[in-house]
Amino acid sequence: MISTLRRGLLVLLAALPLMANAAGSAHDLVQDTTNKMLADLTANKEQYKQDPTKFYDALNSIVGPVVDAEGISRSIMTVKYSRKATPAQMLTFQENFKKGLFQFYGNALLEYNNQGITVAPAGDESGDRTSVNMSVKGNNGAVYPVQYTLEKVNGEWKLRNVIINGINIGKLFRDQFADAMQRNGNDLDKTINGWAGEVAKAKEETDKQAAGKPAQ
């Protein structure tokens, strides 16, 4: 059984800004498309619970275009390993990264029961990098802070990282990738193809860290 704290954290993790790839401010994209996503989930939740793969597909069509999969993948690999990867290996890792992300967050989001999501007022978006803050109320009533980092890629805002209740997910995945490379004898293919298992381990690590970081 998922603990109350873990359930609350997973809801927060699942509340990624599912943003339509359109012009506009980063803040408005987060606000408007989060509302759209929650409306879709409410309408189709029972169907998604019966067949989660349909939900993963929906997340892929909505989230895929806005997540900077290439930038995030290179960040997770770090320069040390990304320079060694072939274009084919990078593409495979990007796809495996997105699949793991959608399954991880999708399963958690199916537990969301409209407790409440609040997007903070817009910050400075004059440059090519900005942050959007959000708070999510968990099933236990606690409020969890989240900060999304977005960057402009070819003139469009795209998601680059998320910090959840003080836990930096990008750093967590980078550490997980480096650890996997050591365990796999620096075999890139083995690490890339086994990334789904690494995401599961990262989730366990997130739960452990969250246990020591009470919600605000």
Q: Which CATH number fits domain 24-207: 3.10.450.710, 1.10.540.10, 3.90.650.10, 2.40.50.140?
A: 3.10.450.710
Question: What integer pLDDT is reported at residue 8 of this predicted model?
Answer: 46
For residue 103 the two structure tokens come to 């399954």
pLDDT in tens, 105-151: 777 777 777 677 888 888 899 999 999 998 887 777 788 888 889 99
State how far the Cα of 16 lies from the Cα of 25, in Å rounded to an integer: 16
Tell me which of 148 and 200 has the higher pLDDT.
Answer: 148
Question: What integer pLDDT is reported at residue 169 of this predicted model?
Answer: 85
- Domain ranges for the chain, please list them: 24-207
**Tokens 């999969």, residue located:** 69
Residue 92: is its pLDDT beyond 60? yes
Q: How many CA atoms lie within 13 A of 189 on its CB side?
A: 1
**Tokens 């690999």, residue located:** 77
Q: Which of 34-38, 122-126, 193-197, 208-212 has the lowest mean pLDDT?
A: 208-212
**Tokens 């994209």, residue located:** 29
State how far the Cα of 207 lies from the Cα of 213, in Å rounded to an integer: 10
In this prediction, residue 73 has a pLDDT band, given cuts at 50, 70 and 90, of very high
Question: What integer pLDDT is reported at residue 100 of this predicted model?
Answer: 80
pLDDT in tens, 158-168: 889 988 888 88
In this prediction, residue 203 has a pLDDT band, given cuts at 50, 70 and 90, of low
- Strand, coil or helix: 24: coil
Question: What integer pLDDT is reported at residue 205 of this predicted model?
Answer: 63
The two most distant CA atoms of the chain are separated, in Å, by: 47
Question: What integer pLDDT is reported at residue 58 of this predicted model?
Answer: 83
Residue 140 is classified by DSSP as: T
Give the predicted TM-score (pTM) of the model: 0.76
Smallest Cα–Cα separation from 175: which of 187, 183, 185?
A: 183
Average pLDDT, stretch 91-95?
93
For residue 99 the two structure tokens come to 């699949």
